[in-house]
Amino acid sequence: MLGTRGRWILAMAAMWLGSAGIAAAAGLAWDNAGEGAYGDGWQTGDAGGSGWGGAWNLNTSVVPPDGNVAGHFVGTSQNNGNGDGNVDVSGASWGLYANSGYMSYATRPFAGTLGIGQSVILDMDNGYVEAGGQFGFTLTAYGDIGSTERFSFYFLGGSNNYFTGTGQMYWITQTDTGVPFTSAGLQVAFTLTGAQAYSVAITPAGGSTTTLNGSFLIDATNFDHIELYNFNAGGASANDGFFNSIQVVPEPGTTALALAGLAGLLAFRRRRA
């Protein structure tokens, strides 16, 4: 969880990267549900954190919208599933609910496209997921999802473990991660390791990290959005799903250089003071 000092350092590093002209592709970005932008809930147009290419866009598959079957909210993730853990920041997470065959989803653009060596890291806390339902997130070229590669991480109702999915809109390769269901929350770190390769590190709360490597059929260097979604997980509060603490991290060498430069600048200013 980022404290006030951590958020300040990330914001300063993002500005330093931009001014230095060395930002790797999408650049440094972060957000969490404890930000002031979400004090009145979670709506389209909310833009907490720093370093993104735009604000959140929230939608459901219900036409016209019906808050009884799909929607979004800010609340604690402590009470879903077994009530055995949470991914909250200051008592808050982004929540999505969906039932009766409907879907809720939330998208946000990166400030550019994800480059090789960059990572997207986030916390996820699914509740129970009814058979055939699905809860997770997708990385994609959001404006062209039908003809480009995409990556998904999700739990599929009726299964035992989490899955990754790669492919295009109507052709998906599904891979069992071997990481079993938990409603206590987990962290997922996706890294684009090559134009057609990736790794994903999955760390359940209180558990060990499982790292998997995979490949894409075509280049995946055009990922420019993240989409969080809940498809028909169920209508009870135990079926609500949550996300939090999203980061887009430049490749390690670039981040280290940026933070080292920032630290040097601050040290210089202290000496001058």
Which residue's entry shows tokens 């909210």? 73
Query: Comparing C-alpha atoms, which of 251, 46, 241 is closest to residue 156?
Result: 241
pLDDT confidence of residue 258: 45
* Whole-structure pTM value: 0.84
The two structure tokens encoding residue 212: 């998997």
Does residue 77 contact residue 185 with C-beta atoms inside 8 Å?
yes
pLDDT confidence of residue 172: 83
pLDDT confidence of residue 261: 41
Which residue's entry shows tokens 């003809």? 147
Q: Tell me how many degrees the CA angle 69-72-76 measures, rounded to the nearest 5.
A: 115
pLDDT confidence of residue 96: 98
| Beta partners for residue 54, in sequence order | none
Does residue 72 contact residue 35 with C-beta atoms inside 8 Å?
no
Does residue 26 contact residue 118 with C-beta atoms inside 8 Å?
yes
C-alpha to C-alpha distances, 179 to 109, 162, 195, 208, nearest whole angstrom: 28, 6, 26, 10
Domains of the chain, first to last: 25-249 (2.60.120.200)
Output the tens digit of pLDDT for each of the chain's 273 residues.
444 444 444 444 444 444 333 334 688 999 999 999 999 999 999 999 999 999 999 999 999 999 999 999 999 999 999 999 999 999 999 999 999 999 999 999 999 999 999 999 999 999 999 999 999 999 999 867 667 889 999 999 999 999 999 998 667 899 999 999 999 999 999 999 999 999 999 999 999 999 999 999 889 999 999 999 999 999 999 999 999 999 999 865 444 444 434 444 333 333 333
pLDDT confidence of residue 49: 98
pLDDT confidence of residue 57: 97
